[in-house]
Amino acid sequence: MLQALWISSLANHLWQSTVVVFAAWLLVFALRNNQARIRYWIWLLASLKFLIPFSLLIDAGRRFGWPFASVHTSRLGGIFDLASSASATTATAFTKPAPMAIAFWIPSFLLLVWLVGAALVALSWWTAWRRARTIIETSATVENGWEHQLLVRLQKSAGVKITVTLAYSSLPLEPGVYGVCRPTILLPIGIRAFLGDQHLEALLTHELAHIRRCDNLAALIPMFVQALFWFNPMVWWLGARMLEERERACDEEVLRFGNSPDVYAESILRVCRFCVTCPSSCVAGVTGSNLKKRVEQIMAHRLGQKLNRGKKALLAIAVVAAFAAPIVVGMTEAPGLRAQSLGASADANLRFEVATIKSSKPGSSLKVQFTPSGRVIVNNATLRFLMKIAYDVGDDQIEGGPAWVNSKRFDLEAAPDESTIGDPKNMSEDQRRKFREQDRLRLQNLLADRFNLRFRTESKQMPIYAMVVAKNGPKMQQARDAEARSGIVGGRGQLTATNVGMEALAHFLGEQAGKPVLDMTGLKGIYIFDMNWSPYVNGTSGISAASNTPSVAADSSGPTLFTAVQDQLGLKLEPQKSVAEILIVDRAEKPSAN
């Protein structure tokens, strides 16, 4: 299951990165007549996107949160799933994952193939880098003479402030820049016989442009991307586009410094006749990219236009949209809460045809049941508990009201008009969800009528729990029959779930923990699992209001709810805070006798 999860995440990341590359191509096309250095940085940012999944940016936004959002959590699915299956038998054995099969070995094999490919690409880069280092160590440094003086003069003109070394190699390699922090311009020892003074000046200007732009350092990004995503042709295509624009940008720099296009083009051609290629992509040479196209552009003296205000705005919007938009999405969702006005009035037409409310008998136990026919039965429940069901909120989202709201217990039984209810057996999942929502709205109207319940809403920062996948991955068994009966049966220290999604599980855990639990696992399937834990002291959730941390369980021999979630389900509840809407009860009256 964990393998399937990372494959799904990888697929999402790849198509998202592909969309960014396509957008970058459109932007480059729009700026095709502008300076090459602009297009180079666009391709570099597109390559960088492969290292930054949108999911990380969205998660970062969720953790910051949106301070002005008024939101609340939804527990409807969990409460109704629990109630509709209240009569089912609780299983005693923990359901273990199915044995390893093809579904496990295929992802494992793919992971092994990826590791081998990444290792081979990384090894090729490392070998080339070691070869470059060996060439530098065996080269003769030029510390005086006309070439050295020319380099110093050009370095000052180009604004390159770091120390640059000039060296000659006995190997017939093309001129290039080696190293990042201590760059060395390496020339083949016999090149002076092929180049005049003007040719050498143009070539040194080209190499100093690479140093000033930090091209060797920037080249590490596409190399790293290619090692990680070697199987994706897109990253190799990106690398070629970066090389093309990099060399074109340096060509523009050479011409901008006043070098003759004829002399510069001729110097490149003379180098090609004398030398072989550079030993690595981490070495910035002079003959890279499409040589014929470069020479044509040099001879045409195409320097590229500067960006006007409109194109600057276009470029800024594109960069912000690529990296800031996912963060904003996460902030508006933070941390995955659903915005809704709790104070909105329910549809007045959604009412129970028959409803009775009376005081509970002493010693009775809490019972909640929502039948497929729409009948609602709740025994030994406080008005506070009834509000939790009707308005889909947690304990700490209800405040105010008279003291009896939290102590006086009632039995409620209600049923809608049967003529308005369809056959539950023939309902689709969307119809069942709509039907459960209508039951909730009927209950809201019933509380307003019989208890004369009136309240207002306010926004308040409150502690919550984020349910995430634990380090070793989920341990639940994925359901095979999606059409089978689904629901949660659980109580004090025990849980049995059949064909249940993570949202419903979060709802149930929220009831047990006493605080909202938000599903941030990313798991979209339905699962079968059991869970057992030790009941908490005095039947509470075991959470300290002051510290927002679990308290010690009454039975120290068994796991706490939080430990059971992690050890038995492979999930984890992480404390966080969020802004949520709370209900403040302004008025409530005890119902009159039926």
Separation of alpha carbons 141 and 147, rounded Å: 11
Identify the top-confidence range among 81-90, 231-240, 278-287, 288-297: 231-240
- Residue 553 has what pLDDT? 40
pLDDT exceeds 50 at position 55: yes
pLDDT exceeds 70 at position 73: no
- pLDDT (tens digit, 9 = 90+) per residue, 561-588? 899 999 999 999 998 887 777 889 999 9
- Residue 453 has what pLDDT? 92
- pLDDT (tens digit, 9 = 90+) per residue, 324-374? 777 666 665 544 333 334 444 456 678 888 899 999 988 887 777 777 777
Categorize the per-residue pLDDT at 58 as very low, low, confident or very high, splitting at 50, 70 and 90: low
Any idea where the domains of the chain sit in the sequence?
2-59+310-333, 66-96+340-587, 116-306
- Residue 570 has what pLDDT? 92
**Weakest-pLDDT range from 220-229, 281-290, 378-387:** 281-290
- pLDDT (tens digit, 9 = 90+) per residue, 503-512? 878 878 877 7
pLDDT exceeds 60 at position 101: no
Categorize the per-residue pLDDT at 556 as very low, low, confident or very high, splitting at 50, 70 and 90: low
Separation of alpha carbons 563 and 402, rounded Å: 37
Task: Name which residue leads in pLDDT, 108 or 66.
Answer: 108
Cβ contacts of residue 288 below 8 Å, gap of 6+? Answer: 243, 246, 247, 278
Mean pLDDT, rounded, for 247-255: 89
Mean pLDDT, rounded, for 229-238: 92
- pLDDT (tens digit, 9 = 90+) per residue, 477-522? 888 765 555 667 666 678 888 878 888 788 788 777 877 888 888 8
Cβ contacts of residue 583 below 8 Å, gap of 6+? Answer: 342, 387, 391, 393, 397, 398, 399, 455, 456, 457
CA–centroid distance for 291 within its chain: 41
Torsion over CA: 574, 579, 583, 586 (sign) = positive
Mean pLDDT, rounded, for 90-115: 55
Cβ contacts of residue 388 below 8 Å, gap of 6+? Answer: 75, 79, 394, 395, 398
- Residue 552 has what pLDDT? 40
Count of C-beta atoms within a 10 Å radius of residue 585: 19
- Residues 428-457, buried b or exposed e (16+ Cβ, 10 A)? eeeeeeebbebbbbbbbbbbbebbebebeb
Torsion over CA: 571, 574, 578, 580 (sign) = positive
pLDDT exceeds 60 at position 65: no
pLDDT exceeds 90 at position 188: no
Cis-peptide into 335, omega within 30 deg: yes
Q: Is the distance from CB of 532 to CB of 87 less than 8 angstroms?
A: no
Torsion over CA: 190, 194, 196, 199 (sign) = negative
- Residue 348 has what pLDDT? 63
- pLDDT (tens digit, 9 = 90+) per residue, 431-468? 666 777 788 888 889 999 999 999 988 887 788 888 99
Mean pLDDT, rounded, for 82-100: 34
Place of tokens 């311009």: 185
Q: Is the distance from CB of 468 to CB of 574 less than 8 angstroms?
A: yes
CA–centroid distance for 191 within its chain: 52
- Residue 288 has what pLDDT? 60
- Residue 84 has what pLDDT? 37
H or E element: which one contains 381?
Answer: strand 376-382
Average model confidence (pLDDT) for the chain? 77
> One-letter amino acid identity for 3?
Q
Categorize the per-residue pLDDT at 276 as very low, low, confident or very high, splitting at 50, 70 and 90: low
Task: Name which residue leads in pLDDT, 312 or 245.
Answer: 245
Beta strand extents in 170-305 (DSSP E only) = 176-178, 184-188
pLDDT exceeds 90 at position 158: no
- pLDDT (tens digit, 9 = 90+) per residue, 129-155? 888 888 888 888 888 888 888 899 998
Mean pLDDT, rounded, for 282-289: 60
Separation of alpha carbons 255 and 331, rounded Å: 47
Q: Is the distance from CB of 277 to CB of 172 less than 8 angstroms?
A: no
Global confidence as pTM: 0.53
Separation of alpha carbons 346 and 453, rounded Å: 13
Separation of alpha carbons 174 and 183, rounded Å: 16
- Residue 548 has what pLDDT? 36
- Residue 341 has what pLDDT? 42
Mean pLDDT, rounded, for 587-593: 86
